[in-house]
Structure 1
């Protein structure tokens, strides 16, 4: 029986820049797993230069649940060239970029880690609502808050053949499930798919991208994953 830490994180605005955009930055609808590494590292006070050493592939598993409907808006940002600007009060050239933001973003995070020190320290900090560094959802301006939900037992289910209701984002992969293993017949669901970064080396080279499926309003997804986890509070989740 494994244990999982569950906490909510939210902000008025969020922006998780898509890696393939330039002049018109678009945002992922969910925080990529690698972004959550940075958020958890900020809570724990890990140095930004080496925090990824604690989150190498196979060390950490994370589940992501959408808690508020995904709403997107566009805001114009004035960007400046900080290399050529000598005085902030005398900046003549600005570049205005129309940027996509998520409005009223809120997610539930399911966290487990092989390193007991990291796991126990995060549990302590979440329980005491303590964070060494300020946390944000994507950009430093998007300051975020968090709340500890609890620590729960979870049971791993393997070689599954049954249809289940899952509350987290799902990965579409031959090792997890195919699109044929998702029930798209439910008319009250809005499904979306995206490709996000899942694992990153300590030098910030992304070594694993994954196709994920989510329901825009945070409703459960009926699917038949090859493996998933049953949390003792009655939730079925997939850990990425």
Structure 2
């Protein structure tokens, strides 16, 4: 199976956690749903219909941290744009503190069953072109991207410990060898949405904050020719 590999990065990012309200917290990496949105932006697929192209039975997406997770706080003055007829007349503002990711970068691994869509994505990445501006969660957090390679990935099965380089789907029965120089974090992220933008799957994941691989026993993973091991979300 062929897999496109590309990097996205930016100064700031925000992927709002679904259970936060007045002070939005952020996930430490873009969930699969957000990565699907990035790919759709590059391909020029309308935001109201792109989700049907990236269901799990059509697209495989894996995510790897390439920069350590760093977070900061930024205060925003929010206004009610529905009642603001003239921007200069706005009197009321609500100050909200946002949890944001700082100096962030991710490596994306992408495959798709539609050969035409896959080839179009490859050409756009290689020529550093996109139909819409890429952003990291919020429209003001502009992202850059870079084509890395097209690689053959092979599904592997092992009963022994292996190092996994990407974000890993987690379950409580998973065996992980916790090493002394690692910082492990666990989270629950939205993983798939339907065309009405309703989340139909949440997934528990585990990752290492400083981009180091995790040593674990996992039933199925994919091996790349460079020796990397990844798991599709």
TM over 0.5: yes
Distance 1:54 1:28 in 2: 24
1:181 aligns with 2:179: no
State the match for 2:64 in structure 1.
65
Deviation per CA, 1:144-174: give whole Å up to 9, x if none.
Answer: 000000000011013x20111111000013x
Q: How does 1:54-203 map to 2 (within 5 A)?
A: 54-158=53-157, 160-173=158-171, 178=172, 180-184=174-178, 186-203=179-196
How high is the TM-score relative to the length of structure 2? 0.98
Do the aligned partners of 2:174 and 2:218 also contact (CA within 8 Å) in 1?
Answer: no
1:207 paired residue among 200, 209, 228: 200
Do the aligned partners of 2:152 and 2:225 also contact (CA within 8 Å) in 1?
Answer: yes
Do the aligned partners of 1:189 and 1:215 also contact (CA within 8 Å) in 2?
Answer: yes
How far did residue 181 of structure 1 move? 1.4
Deviation per CA, 1:76-128: give whole Å up to 9, x if none.
Answer: 01110001111011110010000000000100001111111111111110000
How far did residue 234 of structure 1 move? 1.1
Show structure 1 runs of 4+ deviating over 3 A: none
- Give the 3-state SS of the residue equivalent to 1:217 in structure 2: coil
How far did residue 143 of structure 1 move? 0.1
2:221 paired residue among 187, 203, 228: 228
Distance 1:153 1:36 in 2: 21
Deviation per CA, 1:163-215: give whole Å up to 9, x if none.
Answer: 11111000013xxxx4541111x110000011001111111111110000000
Distance 1:32 1:50 in 2: 18
State the match for 1:19 in structure 2.
18
Structure 1: gaps (5+ residues):
none
- The CA RMSD over aligned residues, in Å, is 0.9
Do the aligned partners of 1:77 and 1:98 also contact (CA within 8 Å) in 2?
Answer: yes
Do the aligned partners of 1:6 and 1:109 also contact (CA within 8 Å) in 2?
Answer: yes
Distance 1:47 1:180 in 2: 38
- Give the 3-state SS of the residue equivalent to 1:139 in structure 2: coil
How high is the TM-score relative to the length of structure 1? 0.95
- Give the 3-state SS of the residue equivalent to 1:211 in structure 2: strand
